[in-house]
Structure 1
Amino acid sequence: MRSLGKVGALVAALALLTVSACGDDDDDGGGGDSGGGGGKIAFLLPETKTTRYEEQDRPNFERRVKELCADCELIYSNADQDPAKQQQQAEAAITQGAKVIVISAVDVKSAAAIVQRAKQSDVKVIAYGRLIPDADLDYYVSIDPFKVGQQQAEVQMKAVDADSPKVVMINGAPTDSNAKPYKDGAADVLKKEGAQIVKSFDTPDWSPDKAQQQMESSVTDLGKGGFDAVYVANDGMAGGAIAALKGAQIEPATRFVTGQDAELAGIQRILSGEQLMTVYQPIIQIAETAAELAVPIAQGEDPPAGLAKDKVDNGQEQVPSVLLDTIAITKDNIQDTVVKDGFLDAADICKGAYAAACQEAGVK
């Protein structure tokens, strides 16, 4: 649950959407007129606890924008998991003259107000990663979250050597539109495989600390032998769950912990055997595709025909969408995926204690 202070702040932000908000400390390029066919693009990300946003999404989006339009101006902000702050950042971007907002919403329900406000100023909106329901979106760029949940559970169930395995589920934040389909996709496979879900948690803010607490409480309630596997929706929370298992003197490799995002720490845990798998979202491609949609809009043109070939129903309309494929990552395909694609550098993965495991797995 969010604090009353945050709820109050959100209400205040919603009431002040038509008023210019104060400047943002994370703004990389507000103010001033762009020339030479450029335009202003706002890129609003939700949080920093998940390392991908600052380490992958932001730099790859910025790079692709500059490749396509050297004169385009980027207005960047990160909301630090605060929906009221994101409302203010969106209003500031509109005031500064953004022609398009690319947004990964902190709270997808409240973000509909951002879309509405943008439309009042004739600003286009691209939902990035997280679908905003019941809103007049122009485009949506993401992956299929139900399929991701299925991929996680399929790899896990193949690894578990137990009849009717007992599974603890540590799911994502309920404010994220992808969290429920991740959970539903995993539960679909678990049910088909005859697994029992003995505990299930929705984790505010995708917090690794909260995930660790949830895992600790599960061990206390169920006992060390009361569960066979731990489904975790992303790598950050997997780190928290694994810390709890180790604290309880349970070998993490025996509980087949899942993850997502192919974070550096997650890949290293897979190599060491502490984490079973992760799901590799093509984040570079997601960021580049969003930039390829945003730049023409900022320049007053239409995006390339056929780029957004999919349609996704957000409750209000069929949103033109780009849905990219995801890959289940285990120790066996790290080299051929995240390393080969340049998503992670083998030199970073294979530092120190991970050097021998990298050599064994063919990561170089």
Structure 2
Amino acid sequence: MNARLRRIVTSAMALSLAVPLAACGEEQTDAGAGEKTIGLLLPENKAARYENFDYRIISRRIATLCLECELDYRNAKSAVDTQKMQFEGLVKKGVKVIILDPVDAQAAKSWVNSAAKKGVKVIAYDRLAEGDVAAYVSYDNESVGRLQGQGIATALGSQASTANVVMMNGSPTDPNAPSFKKGAHGVLDRKVQKIVSENDIPDWSPAEAKKKMTEVINALGPEGFDAVYSANDGMAGGIAEALKSAGIRNVPLGGQDAELPALQRIIRGTQSFTIYKEVRPEAETAAEIAFRLLEGKSIKSLTSTTADSASKSGIPAKLFSAEIVTRKNLKDTVVQDGVVRVDLLCTKDLATACKSLDLN
């Protein structure tokens, strides 16, 4: 995407912040009330992206496609039972299309299957829910893991072949986490000497990642590892705190999601890279698929591939590609795309480092 088009996209995204489309009021019981409603269920609010980008972009796109449509948005705040109630509430209301990013993909299977029997079309968003889903929109998550693994190997440079690496993987309930792990192992198992410690972190918890990293440091010693793979930026923040507390510096650390604190750590030098997954195309595609399903139209042109879950094969899917962000290309990726404003990124303590990266 060229710079001019990115600026246009960014402007459109900014406009979306003012769209008051979602109906987040009390649950309705009138089955006919949901005929022109699309449900949107997001999993948590710890990661900044869901509230600030996914929800707002989906809102804007649906409003553009269908003036009379309503978006009923709920956030589960990491609670499976809450999301179950939200999902069942939408079905009871009569909503026929639901965009679902599951807290726990396996737990969602029974809800999705029950809804499908009632004619409800469920679009698995970002994470592939189990059950009879109608479509899936996400990123190629194994490819993302490979990018992360390569990021660690590149940061280690000529020392990679003799390096010991610690791996902090994502939540066991997130179906994307095993794909990230598989992709990362596909690179690291060939490029580095050894994975000396590996943990799956429940709920992608930064606090738990910090705790586990502290345990690793105590067990292996500050010289017992050469790099740390973190499945996302939130956990990388906790890991960076543990490294700092132990007085450990210049250890390559990678993440994912291009969150503001992570980008600032990259500028500061305490995080080596992050993975940038542009939310706009993912969110807009999910919105358009939802609208077409609501109207009974084909989604074939929007789903260029298929995906398989443990419970269903051949799910129509759209999988986007991600890119790695380091100090070298930060300006030409997340800054140029408008993901982060330079005035927010370059705080006073980072002024000199930002100037050296031509961020002004």
Calculate percent identity across the aligned residue pairs.
Answer: 40
Residue 303 of structure 1 deviates from its aligned partner by 4.5
Within 1, Cα distance between the matches of 2:299 and 2:183? 32
Could you tell me which of 194, 203, 206 is aligned with 2:204? 206
**Paired residue for 1:349, among 342, 345, 349?**
345
In structure 2, what is the Cα distance between the partners aligned to 1:287 and 1:293?
10
> Could you say what secondary structure the match of 1:332 adopts?
coil
The Cα offsets for residues 157-211 of structure 1, whole Å up to 9 and x where unpaired, read as 1221424210010000010001011111111111111331110000000000000
Between the aligned partners of 2:25 and 2:358, the Cα distance in structure 1 is: 40
Which residue identity lines up with residue 181 of structure 2 in the other structure? K
Question: Which residue in 1 is equivalent to 2:303?
Answer: 308
Task: Give 1:3's aligned residue.
Answer: none
SS, match of residue 190 in structure 1: helix
Q: Which amino acid aligns with 2:144?
A: V
Q: Which residue of 1 aligns with 2:220?
A: 222
Q: Which amino acid aligns with 2:309?
A: N
How many residues are paired up? 333
Which of 57, 61, 79 aligns to 1:60? It is 57
Mapping of residues 292-331 of structure 1, within 5 Å: 292-298=288-294, 300-315=295-310, 316-331=312-327
What residue in structure 1 maps to residue 72 of structure 2? 75
1:51-200 superposed matches below 5 A: 51-133=48-130, 135-160=131-156, 161-162=158-159, 163-200=161-198
CA contact (8 A) 1:29 1:76 kept: no
Per-residue CA deviations over 1:283-329 (Å, capped at 9, x if unaligned) read 1111111001112223x231554111111111322100000010001
Distance in 1 (CA, whole Å) between partners of 2:26 and 2:325 is 37
CA distance in 2, matches of 1:324, 1:68: 22
Correspondent of 1:279 among 260, 264, 275? 275
User: CA separation in 2, counterparts of 1:136 and 1:305?
Assistant: 17
- Superposition TM-score, scaled by structure 2 size: 0.88
Q: Secondary structure at the match of 1:50?
A: coil
Gaps of 5+ in 1: 1-25
Distance 2:300 2:195 in 1: 45
Distance 1:240 1:157, change over 3 A: same
Tell me how far 1:30 sits from its aligned partner.
5.7
Describe the superposition over 1:58-106 as per-residue Cα deviations: whole angstroms up to 9, x where unpaired.
Answer: 1111121112222211111111111111110000111122121101111
> Counterparts of 1:168 and 1:361 in 2: how far apart (Å)?
29
The verdict on how the C-alpha distance between 1:73 and 1:91 changes in structure 2, with shifts beyond 3 A counting, is same
Q: What amino acid maps onto 2:223 in structure 1? A: G
Quote the residue 2:285 is aligned against.
289
Q: What is the DSSP-based 3-state SS (H/G/I as helix, E as strand, rest coil) of the residue aligned with 1:197?
A: strand
CA contact (8 A) 2:262 2:271 kept: yes
How far the C-alpha of 1:347 sits from its partner, in A, is: 2.2
Distance 1:344 1:122 in 2: 40
Aligned AA (2:66): C
Aligned-partner Cα distance in 2 for 1:94–1:164? 55
Instruction: Deviation per CA, 1:119-163: give whole Å up to 9, x if none.
Output: 132110000011123x21110000111111111111211221424
Q: Deviations over 1:29-80 (max 9, x none)?
A: 8648779xx8101110111122211122111111211122222111111111
Alpha-carbon separation, structure 2, partners of 1:282 and 1:195: 33
Alignment of 1:47 onto 2:14: no
Matching residue's letter, 1:351: T
Letter in 2 for 1:57: D
CA drift of 1:232 comes to 0.3
Report if the CA contact (8 A) 2:231-2:255 is conserved: yes
